[in-house]
Chains A and B, each alone.
Chain A
């Protein structure tokens, strides 16, 4: 086995480390800790964070890549780059059908040419994997699905019960109470932290996951696409793409927007004029055009340098990487303008003038006095931008200039769904799947960013 760290994997790891480091810093700074606690103090915010955390774990599992060794050979590895998520979903990845099949189906969606009793005819054929264990599917299917669903619900509830028990145990230990008393205060929501909401969200998620898991061993829960890929697998793989695009583009945006915004606002004069002209010009170019041009150039570059990208995974990853960079380079103007305005206000603040009276250098004023005071704006716009960028990926892939067509993403899913909706009979499940997952991801990100904005925005009213 050979560990492979793709470019975007580096980014994911760095973001993870950065978040952990920031979390450590928050713990040590009381005023930050208080604000963050406020963000996690609403039921909506914490529930959204819980859902978001589940998405993050899936994305993280999909970011641990390796190339399996070829059996019997010492130093040779397969050309295929796999992730840990691929291993977990091995059954789904390999259980490929011939073509479309509806969710939970045991036979194909369309009639296929076949030979029955020596006679060529068209019929609905049994799927190779979905429901293959049933002898007489017409009679057994409904009972089997029901049984598995019930078992899944039971499994989910069991998991949720375990989580609740753990929470009660920890709560009782922390508060030095009896278990019964801890459970009662948890049930009444008198814990100070919306633990009840988190546990409810976890219960819903566990039941859904349990049902999916029980059904997925024998069926294609969300159906299959045109070439027979299991949609559950595809959509779970899409999560990482969305997360990478969301976070990495934001990371590219931040230094440009913050650096230029603070400089323009504080230094004024020709620096301000120049920066304003730059972002006005960038704003006036249709960004789709700009991205299309860059993506085309990149594709040519990747095709001409096969030695730099030995596997197809690395090629598609490089395209994703550069797409993030170009998305970030085009979307910094809004935040830059916001920060410039805030800094113009702050530079008249008396503590800035006091620093000037001490002869403190410009660089120190920018970094020590101004930057920490616009940090809340940066954080707020970072979480709000995230969902916007996930949606932007969908739009770009739909137009055909997004990620590589072989890479699973919400955009490519929606792009294929466009054609499938216009055929007869309609393939509805691709769009439904992509919509549901993207909707939950973006909605939970938005709700969480709302909670963060309320906590960090000094103008927000705290009742």
Chain B
């Protein structure tokens, strides 16, 4: 039904012409779900935008064709294209919060979509809107239809978006990361809803995602994109039974899970090549173990492997095939020294309670409190990793910040927290300084956590300067150099600014900054959730190695169960500001006792990789 034929989309940027999508050919049948998978910068979203012709002004379809049934969409004038867009092709986007108009009630927006693309008017359109709200599973649609977007939760907003997209009864639905911004339990509901509706309507769905777990749950066919090209195309069953392209196998190997605990993850070294250059060989060759001179000098075509499974790699060429090399499994060096967990608790938290004051009235008096964290207690031994798991709004970040004393002045914090012999909650200025030398933090967003106006050298030296003023300049320089070594960044990084680094490199800088004062505890606040899978593997490896070498304890805040399985010694599950279950990592994951833990674990999309024959947990 939808057919892309050698689609090539160019973006004109200041660096030159970026070929974001290069020679992509694929077909989607009615009633089929096609998943387009890739890391950021692989061109999957641009492919979607090319189909609906919603490209930015500086981009255009340079060659190839997009055919929907008999119409060639690439050549349609804009006025005719508008009838297709919304009518035959509908789209839903990643961020439900910004996809809806904030000043119109959801009912009005839904009615608008219906009257634009169908014959229904007035009461009939409203009735249809109500009907759709019911079908996407919004409770009490009669009441909700007059709500404004801010009155709905993220999941409800995405449901409304789906209703709007489907109300016009499209033949093709393009879903661009529809569940990435949602919690894992909500993600499951939304995916189930999409599948139900698709089955009922028999429409085709193009699902754009970076999450292989989601793919294995909903897709019929899979296309893997790398650097603007399709590198592998096949049915879901065939793909997961035997992924062919080295990139695809490495991507699956980079996923953290419980079986890889003893080893380092298969991080793919290097990064996606910039797309403004002309390629002479395979685009993955610089990062591939199997790459030969042929891979570097000749552009591989798509090889048909039978059963609609095709792959762009010389390893599958009919003659003179390049032999595939398996990357070595990297050990942690477990034999060298098992991690020493101390007996004495490093951090003990008892009855931690955090309340944010609500101010109101003319004089901004405190009129009440919102409880963010209720009576949270846990302890952490030196060199141990405790994962704090929960969905957004469960109070895990607040707990971390309260322990780090970053909430002084903004929230009321009760309870007790002992770091060694320091009572954190009652620490004076000097004691707090001493405590800060022992505990540091790594943030989620590698782009927001480094001051864009400071050089990396200054960023790394700042902590030493502030907390170890007794060290002189030479000693500071020596330490900063050693830090770069530890996180494997070149010495030349010192004089550069954060924006010159990629996301993964920035996160390395943030880790080095936290290590600068030689802390015994690091609070990791979702340190990998803004990163691509292959980069996430690099960072997790680094964290694990550092723990091995330095014996630092991690309080690991995350919603990603795969990361937890791979890294955590113990797990604390948080829901609505309380810890509902604590336990050793293995026993808690194998036999969860609390209902919420069970729901959470069940909602995580799992993937079965044939080759390794193991069940793999995937990041949400």
Interface residues of A (CB under 8 A from B): 30-31, 349-351, 353-361, 364, 368-369, 372-373, 375, 462-463
Contacts and interface: CB of A to CB of B under 8 A. Distances in A.
A276 to B, nearest CB: 12
Interface string B427-462: 000001100100111011100111111100000001
A354 B449 contact: yes
B454 A357 contact: no
Contacts of A463: 12-14, 57-58
Interface string B294-310: 00000000000000000
A273 to B, nearest CB: 8
A358, A368, A462 interface centre (most CB from chain B within 10 Å): A358
Contacts of A359: 432-433, 436, 466-467
Main secondary structure of the interface of A (DSSP, over half): helix
A349 B498 CA distance: 15
A369 B448 CA distance: 13
Interface in B482-503: 497, 499
A358 B462 contact: yes
B467 to A, nearest CB: 6
Task: Give 5 closest A-B pairs by Cβ, nearest first.
Answer: A350-B449, A372-B453, A350-B443, A358-B463, A351-B451
A373 B453 contact: yes
Given A358-B463, A372-B451, A463-B58, 10 more contacts: A30-B497, A350-B445, A350-B448, A351-B451, A354-B449, A355-B451, A357-B436, A357-B439, A358-B462, A463-B13
A358 B453 contact: no
A360 B58 CA distance: 44
B498 to A, nearest CB: 9
A360 B466 contact: yes
Interface string B402-434: 001010000000000000000000000000110
A358 B433 CA distance: 8
B497 A31 contact: yes
6 contacts: A353-B441, A356-B406, A358-B467, A359-B433, A360-B466, A372-B454
Interface string B8-50: 0000111000000000000000000000000000000000000
Contact of B451 (A30, A373, A375, A462): A373
B606 interface: no
B579 interface: no
B544 to A, nearest CB: 22
Contacts of A354: 441, 443, 449, 510, 513
Contact of B448 (A351, A358, A364, A375): A351
Contacts of A349: 448-449
A355 B459 CA distance: 9
A359 B12 CA distance: 45
A380 to B, nearest CB: 16
B436 A369 contact: no
Contacts of B463: 358
B517 interface: yes
Given A372-B453, A463-B57, A355 B462 contact: yes
A131 to B, nearest CB: 57
A123 B12 CA distance: 71
A187 B450 CA distance: 44
B404 A357 contact: yes
Contacts of A356: 406
B439, B452, B453, B497 interface centre (most CB from chain A within 10 Å): B453
Contacts of A351: 448-451
Contacts of B57: 463
A424 B462 CA distance: 73
Contacts of A361: 466
